[in-house]
Amino acid sequence: MSTTTTISTSYNGQDAGQIISRALFSASTLENNLISFKPNVKYKTILKRLSTGSLIQSADCDFSADSTINLDERELEVIKLKVNLQVCKDDFMDDYLALEMGASAHGDLPKSFSDFLIEEMRKKVANELETKIWQNTTDFDGFETLFANDGTVIDVTAVVIDAENVVAELAKVHAAIPVSLVTNPDTTIYVSQSVASAYVIALGGFAANGVGGSGSDAKGSQWYNGSSLSFAGIKVVVANGLSQGKMVATTKSNLFFGTSLMSDLNEVKVIDMENIDGSDNVRFIMKMTAGVQYAYGADVVYYA
């Protein structure tokens, strides 16, 4: 299937000098290193897991080997993904961007358009990967699907969250976190945008949820400027790819994103086909691999 390029213009002799695209949410999971990375994965990689039994025993004069050591593994499989776009240079001949194509019949694609499209591709790919990492997609199972299918994951039943109940629902998630993880500095509560917004509103105060009329830091509803959130001493971070109303509590070191080269997520190759097949087409290409996995389901609390 070819790329459909639609150009609507009100060209009247002068370029406004700016191309604008629709806003995208930030790819917070990868951009903010909210999970662990496994680069250089072509197909599969192994997550080695080690656990032991109780170690301490009563002392005597003898060496008494005791306890158990269990070494097993989980597979992180990645799939190949690509972006293929094709643009015809002729489509720009009647647009104001034609001024950038030069006088020759062998014109170049307008540079301002090409540069903007490359940057837009990078942002859109990051945006789509953010969703794929967490949600059920046609390419690979995100964390939400993996958690839902694992009986060892600790499930907490969700309700519709708003500013009135968000603190109580966060408390449910906190109460379900295994004792061994509560004081672990790596433990994080990942929340969707809707949960984060409700929590920020709740912390704005006005005597709600026991915060008091002046809100967090005595700044009322103006207190939050994008700085860090926490609940009962545990970091709360926004994972933009999480489905609305969902939360996940686990350690960053328990969640993995596998890919080929990290640079593949940003590299866009541009191929002018004129010297290859004589056409006026220009191709934009990205290639990458991606997949997610976690080590221990019993260390995951899934609010859904």
Residue 60 lies in a domain: no
Decide if 252 is inside a domain: yes
What total number of domains does the chain contain? 1
| Burial degree of 16 (CB within 10 A; 0-12, 13-18, 19+) | exposed
In a domain, 85, yes or no: yes
Say which residues have a Cβ less than 8 Å from residue 70's Cβ, sequence separation at least 6. 50, 51, 52
Q: Could you give the angle at the alpha carbon of 177 between the alpha carbons of 253 and 38, nearest 5°?
A: 15
Q: Is residue 76 part of a domain?
A: yes
Measured CA to CA, the distance from residue 269 to residue 69 in angstroms comes to 49
Could you give the CA distance from residue 119 to residue 284 in angstroms, rounded to a whole number? Answer: 11
Range of the domain at 111: 28-52+66-303
**Residues 249, 170: Cα–Cα separation, whole Å:** 10
How far is residue 126's CA from residue 29's CA, in Å, rounded to a whole number? 10
Residue 105 lies in a domain: yes
Looking at residue 250, its pLDDT comes to 97
Does the residue 276 lie in any domain? yes
In a domain, 267, yes or no: yes
Region for 13 from its dihedrals, namely left if φ exceeds 0, alpha if ψ lies in -120 to 50, beta otherwise:
left
pLDDT in tens, the chain (304 residues): 556 655 444 443 444 444 444 454 568 898 899 999 888 888 888 777 676 777 777 788 888 788 777 776 788 899 899 989 888 877 665 454 544 545 445 567 777 777 888 888 888 888 899 999 999 777 889 999 999 999 999 999 999 999 999 999 999 999 999 999 999 999 999 999 999 999 988 887 654 554 555 666 666 565 666 678 999 999 999 999 999 999 999 999 999 999 888 788 888 888 888 889 988 888 888 898 999 999 999 999 999 9
User: Exposed, middle or buried: residue 153 (CB in 10 Å: 0-12, 13-18, 19+)?
Assistant: buried
Element (H, E) at 81: strand 79-88
Asked if the structure places residue 93 within a domain, the reply is yes
